[in-house]
Amino acid sequence: MTNSPEWLGAALSVAGAVSSAIFAALALRLTKQAQRSEAHGAIGVLYDKVLDFRVAHPEMLRLSRQWSSRHFERIYQQRSDEDRQWALYYTYVELCLGFCNAVIYLSRRGHLEAAAYEQQYARLVRLLLTEHNPLIEDLLEKPHFISTYIRSFRDQLAREGWDWRTEHQRLALPGCG
């Protein structure tokens, strides 16, 4: 019986350690869920801004098909309403790129569930980058204008057979999408 208190003390210590580990694992899981919930919320806010801009300026998709690198000068000069329209388009693409960067970053940090990323968010990123491919291609030629997140996303899809130029042109064809 003299060993009984030692045995009981050891058992209580083990039970305490196990319960602490369980509580720590639960806390970690809840923290991860909270981070994912925050990530989805942040992405939702960014996408709402993209959609609000697009609703207010439906010409953005038309402009995406007319972009050429000569429009850069017009963005910075803004001598006419047409020049201001190109500046507005550039602003819209910046919003889109911000959304895309956030999605890719949060996914790589593990703040988005893989299924949600693959089935929803990666598709939206691909759509936005495809819609505005001419401007994005111009920005890719300038060092440090496009994030490494977007560069690697585009490169990965290209390796998988996605042709950015062809897919951009296909978006406007009847029955495509």
pLDDT digits (tens, 9 = 90+) for 96-119: 999 999 999 999 998 888 998 999
Q: What is the pLDDT of residue 48?
A: 95
* 43, 121 Cβ separation under 8 angstroms: yes
Burial class of residue 20 (count of CB atoms within 10 Å of its CB; 0-12, 13-18, 19+)? exposed
* pLDDT tens figures, 118-128: 999 999 999 99
Supply the angle between the helices 148-159 and 133-140 in degrees, to the nearest 10.
110
pLDDT in tens, 83-98: 899 999 999 999 999 9
Per-domain residue ranges of the chain? 36-170
Q: What percent of the chain has pLDDT over 90?
A: 60
Query: For the whole prediction, is pTM greater than 0.75?
Result: yes
* Residue 169 in this model has a pLDDT that exceeds 80: yes
H or E element, residue 136: helix 133-140
pLDDT tops 80 at residue 19: no
